Structure 1
Amino acid sequence: MAKRVAVGGFLHETNTFAPTKAGLDDFLGGSGAIPMSRGDQILAIPPTANQSIAGALAHAARVGWEVVPTLWCAASPSAHVTEEAYETITAEIIGRIAAALPLDGIYLDLHGAMVAEHVDDGEGELLARLRAVVGDIPIVVSLDLHANVTPRMVETADVLDSYRTYPHVDMRETGARGARALDLLMAGESLEKAFLQAPYLSAISWQCTDMEPARGLYAEMEELGAGLPSISFNMGFPAADFADCGMSVTAYGPGATETARALMDRIEAAEPAFAGEVLTPSEAVARAKDLAQAATRPVIIADTQDNPGAGGDSNTTGMLHALIAARAENALLGGLYDPQAAMAAHAVGVGAEVEITLGGQSGGDPPVAARFTVEALSDGVFEAKGPYYGRRRMTLGPSAALRIGGVRIAVVSAKCQMADREIFRHLGLHPEEASIIVVKSSVHFRADFAPIAETILVAAAPGPMAVDPALLPWRRLRPGLRLSPGGAAFSPDDLSSKETQNANA
């Protein structure tokens, strides 16, 4: 008899230090990618999409589950999810699952780093409410590699299984792996659980699994966990100010406790290696210009602190000011989120000049007030072809290619991490032919841009995603957690002392 399984999803990565919150409309629209899907709309999510839900549905079709689709949605990383959005979406997911009872299992596609205005542990709260309704039905959850896994999440879900790559090119595979774990549970197998949290935070710029130390740690995870149904090393999202922020290990199956401890020992030993070189905007542009003189491929600069995939609004101008000041030639920058600038360009048309103030809405450096030439216009609808978005249809709204001197800017009307070359190409810009490329991304861009890069530099222009977690104004972490590899430990006593000093000043 076919197993009856409810599926759904609710994804958000929350930077509690970011400038803009995620409301219900952000989830309805899907941040330029897959919009909110209800019921059978979930079954229409492209099977090739690089999303966990797509992998789970593919497994369901192979083994003959009776799928009960509920609700799936995602919004671009930002500050807190509003209470309205959280309560509306959570209630609908749980309500649809309750209406579908009886069930043999439940599969959810979550992120693992959601913080709402009124709930620190977004996923843990959702799972606890769901568990109270469905009882002991097996629940399996796919998580992002950057999940801030909490004890409540581990307690209320039967299995939490996470991506193993950053850039996240294995989301679909992760969904299939989670679905296989659900098959084991629905067959009556009971799995030992293990959960450990690391003693330090690491910056996302140095978490790339194509580089050390992450590459080696994930290889060791695969080796250590070869006999387990599920094992995950979560890097954590180091910009969520609550007690359970940070890296962790979860393992399920025979010997899970010993395996998790062995992996955590390796993670702790790798602490000094989670660091790298960070340049100022002017330093990055100067070095890129020097390298470009002899390069045969583009020099790429990651504008990591304004990464819209980590809560930035993708509109700070530190890198653009640096390119203009250095008189950079044959340079591209994208994608800069400024709907008003895009509409102004559409109003005057291709070939015209437009005098505007571009970007800068999120603070930091001032907007770029100048006259730009409009080189191309687009409705922002295209198919992303790189491995990160996975041939996903993108809807970025009115978009424009603007030129000032030797710099061309891809301006868009929907926040979208610059992780696919088509975001340039749909505006007639050819990244393969550029000398310097600035991308508003931290690591995901590497999936599609690393193959064309001469080298990659990391720059720290103003933005809400600090390249070093120790720079953030933490208030609520667990005591003793080191704020960066080898750095100072968080202490509420130190915070109280500083506040007292400030009050007396």
Structure 2
Amino acid sequence: MRIGVARLWHEANSFSVCETTLAQFQAREWCRGEAAAGLYRGTATEAGGALSWADARGDVELVFSRCASAAPAGPVDQAVLDCITREIAEDPALEGIDGLYLSLHGACIGTVDPDPETTLVAALRARFPDLPIAASFDMHACIAPELVERLDAATVYRTYPHVDMAEAAIDALDMLATIIDGKRKTRVLLRVIDKILPSFNMRTDGPGPMRDIETEAQTGGVATSADAPILAAYPFASFAYADVPQANAGVLVTCEDESRGTALAEHVVRAMQANQARFQPDLPTAEALLASRPWAAGERVAILEPSDNPLSGGIGDTPGLFAAALEAELPEGCVFAFFCDPETVAKAHEAGVGATLDLSLGGRLDAWFGTPLRVEAEVLCLTDGRFRNEDAMERGMPVDLGRTALLRVARLRVIVTTGCQSPNDAAYFRLHGIDIDHVPLLLAKAKNHFRAAFGSRFDVIRSCETLGPAMADVSRLPFRAVSRERFNLKNQRDT
């Protein structure tokens, strides 16, 4: 069995001023063929899962076309997307394959095309009208009906933090192989709830609404044996900062029997509607949270600033939490992670360890979220920004932050990077000579994925609200294509 593999993974925040270019893809994942197999083997990623699945079967050859992934940011340069689409859709290496697996995010946006993933799948379906095609998606996908109707099977991450990327690929490939082996005829059903579920209260590593919805979704199970009918339901929440018409939460059901698939989809939709109000965020301001001094009892505390979380399309530049920290009475040994500021990193490298610099931090990209802060900083450490993830999420994947610097500003050790990526792995801090297990207070531009590595390392993890491209109060963001009603999460019985 020969199965083609291609990947387009990017989550675009419509309110980020940082356009995604080819350089961002090349810095994260830009590979094909044997180079792709070498990069992904042994990693906790979709492609890593595909490789382990093929190895376990022993009767499968994977053919890697273009695999492209960039860290979440603003919309992608359209020329880059057009290049990726052509390269995959016209790839001669895909001739003669028995099926195709696509690793997609579902929330990619181009500077011109608002739905490039549908464009890609449409081009592939035009080339391969009868080929079985399966895809996996992020939980925060924005999935259009035009995309779904061109697929034969689909999966979505079931965990948040997303520690089941490999499993999402394996489940998709199990269904794809069953379709190929048994010449089965399946279809993918899409049902939406006309709401967008914000991700602040969406964790599945403990009690919560998304965990309850996932339990309901798995009522029908996933059948992959040769004689069992395929029936699999995967809810998705959409992405709250994608200003595109297809932004809508719902469920994907892959089925052979449409009546059974429809019944399961409607069951999951009812569960989502019943739980939607539980997703409404209610975060304290940074000033109020710091003023409460949650570390006062001696507990180790992490305070997160999700409004500027890079994995939600944050820009690593908003000054809200940092400004509040400079005014607070912090304990010794605190760490602030991070600012993305290539110019400051360059100045620190030029000056060297031990130098003292007068700097402006934050507010350099978009003054609407706050103005720069003048500080005096001592250069503590300089790095090349390279490490390999060691914790649960994307374990084994190499990371390149570009050159970085660790500065001391008042009582804070401040990490400043060239690239904009979330501080979600212990190796990120070890790179800078920081033992995260001995930090009394960490201030981080991060969100729920942070907990995959640090959920058991801190006694208290709290989030605060500041101005930023991924703030909880979406009413302050200038949506045009998405109705405000999709953010009204009151249950009917509450209205």
Cα distance 1:391–1:39, how it changes in 2: closer, same or farther (>3 A)? closer
SS of residue paired to 1:377? strand
Q: What displacement does 1:318 show?
A: 1.1
Aligned to 2:9: 11
- 8 Å CA contact 1:277–1:458 kept in 2: the answer is no
User: Counterparts of 2:222 and 2:63 in 1: how far apart (Å)?
Assistant: 32
Contact between 1:384 and 1:394, CA under 8 Å: does it hold in 2? yes
Q: CA deviation at 1:308?
A: 0.8
- What is the match of residue 354 of structure 1? 357
1:174 aligned to 2:172? no
Q: Is the 8 A contact 1:161 1:232 kept in 2?
A: yes
Please state how far the C-alpha of 1:107 moved relative to its aligned partner. Answer: 0.9
Residue in structure 2 matched with residue 376 of structure 1 by the alignment: 381
Verify the 8 A CA contact 1:331 1:408 in the aligned structure 2: yes
- Does the CA-based 8 Å contact 1:127-1:153 persist in structure 2? yes
2:218–2:232 CA contact under 8 A, matched in 1: no
C-alpha displacement at 1:482, in angstroms?
2.5
2:488 and 2:45 map into 1 onto residues whose CA distance is 30
Of 18, 21, 24, the match for 1:20: 18
Seen in structure 2, the aligned counterparts of structure 1 residues 397 and 99 have a Cα distance that, compared at 3 Å, is: closer
Maintained 8 Å contact 1:312/1:463: yes
Establish whether residue 57 from structure 1 lines up as the match of residue 59 from structure 2.
no
8 A Cα contact 2:122 2:150, kept in partner: yes
Q: Is residue 302–residue 438 contact of structure 1 (8 Å, CA) maintained in 2? A: yes
AA in 1 matched with 2:324: A
SS in structure 1 at match of 2:456? helix
1:333 lines up with 2:336 in the alignment: yes
RMSD: 1.8
On the 8 A contact 2:303/2:462 being kept in 1, the answer is yes
Change (3 A) 1:151 1:451: same
Quote how far apart the aligned CAs of 1:208 are: 1.5
In the alignment, the residues of structure 2 paired with residue 24 and residue 371 of structure 1 have an alpha-carbon distance, to the nearest angstrom, of 35
TM-score by length of structure 1 reads: 0.91
1:92 aligns with 2:87: yes
Query: Structure 1's 90 and 192: CA in aligned 2 closer, same or farther, altered over 3 A?
Result: closer
Contact 1:384/1:393, CA 8 A, preserved across alignment: yes
Q: In the alignment, does 2:79 pair up with 1:76? A: no
Q: For each residue in 1:211-270, what CA deviation from the matched residue of structure 2 results, as whole angstroms up to 9, or x when unmatched?
A: 411122112222343555532111111111122102110111241110111011011000
Query: Higher mean Cα deviation, 222-231 or 314-323?
Result: 222-231
Compared with structure 1, are the counterparts of its residues 46 and 126 closer, same or farther at alpha carbon in structure 2 (3 Å cutoff)? closer
Once the two structures are superposed, the pairs formed by residues 31-430 of structure 1 within 5 Å of their partners are: 35-63=29-57, 64-96=59-91, 98-187=92-181, 188-210=183-205, 211-225=207-221, 228-253=230-255, 254=257, 255-287=260-292, 289=293, 291-296=294-299, 298-329=300-331, 330-362=333-365, 363=367, 364-430=369-435
The 2-side partners of 1:80 and 1:6 are apart by 27
SS of structure 2 residue aligned to 1:206 = coil
Q: Taking structure 1 as reference, are residues 428 and 8 closer, same or farther at Cα in structure 2, changes over 3 Å only?
A: same
Match of 1:438 in 2: 443
- 8 Å CA contact 2:354–2:378 kept in 1: the answer is yes
The farther-off stretch of 184-193 and 153-162 is: 184-193
Mark the runs of 5 or more structure 2 residues left unpaired by the alignment.
224-229
For each residue in 1:432-462, what CA deviation from the matched residue of structure 2 results, as whole angstroms up to 9, or x when unmatched?
A: 2222211111211011111112222211222
Asked whether the 8 Å contact 2:353–2:380 carries over to 1, the reply is yes
CA shift digits 1:29-50 (9 cap, x unpaired): 22xxxx3002211111232322
> Aligned partners of 2:216, 2:386: CA distance in 1, in Å?
41
Give the TM-score of the pair, scaled to structure 2: 0.92
Deviates more, 1:332-341 or 1:221-230: 221-230
Q: 1:33-82, CA deviations, whole angstroms, 9 ceiling, x for partnerless residues?
A: xx300221111123232211111122122222122211101011112111
* SS of match in other structure, 1:371: strand
Could you tell me how far apart the structure 1 residues matched to 2:406 and 2:134 are? 44
Whole-Å separation in 2 of the counterparts to 1:70 and 1:192:
24
**Residue 483 of structure 1 corresponds to which residue in structure 2?**
487
Rounded Cα–Cα distance in structure 2 between residues aligned with 1:247 and 1:196: 9
Q: Which amino acid aligns with 2:340?
A: Y
Moved more, 456-465 or 217-226: 217-226
- Where in structure 1 are there 5+ consecutive unaligned residues? 489-505
Query: In structure 2, the residue corresponding to 1:9 is in which secondary structure?
Result: strand
Contact 2:27 2:400 in 1 (8 A): no
Deviation at 1:423, TM superposition (A): 1.4
CA contact (8 A) 2:4 2:64 kept: yes
Question: Cα offset for 1:370?
Answer: 1.4
Moved more, 353-362 or 104-113: 353-362
Counterpart CA distance in 2 for 1:52 and 1:46 is 9
Q: Is the 8 A contact 1:24 1:84 kept in 2?
A: no
Shift, 1:319, TM fit: 0.8
Q: Kindly provide the amino acid, as one letter, of the partner of residue 396 in structure 2.
A: R
Change (3 A) 1:213 1:295: farther
Give a deviation string over 1:353-378, Cα, whole Å, max 9, x none. Answer: 12221232232222221111112221
- Stretch deviating more after TM superposition (237-246 or 214-223): 214-223
Task: Give the total of aligned pairs.
Answer: 477
Identity %: 27
Corresponding letter in the other structure for 1:189: R
For 1:270, what is the secondary structure of its paired residue? helix
Q: Describe the SS at the equivalent of 2:486.
A: coil
CA shift, 1:192, in A, is: 4.2
Q: Secondary structure of 2:380's partner?
A: strand
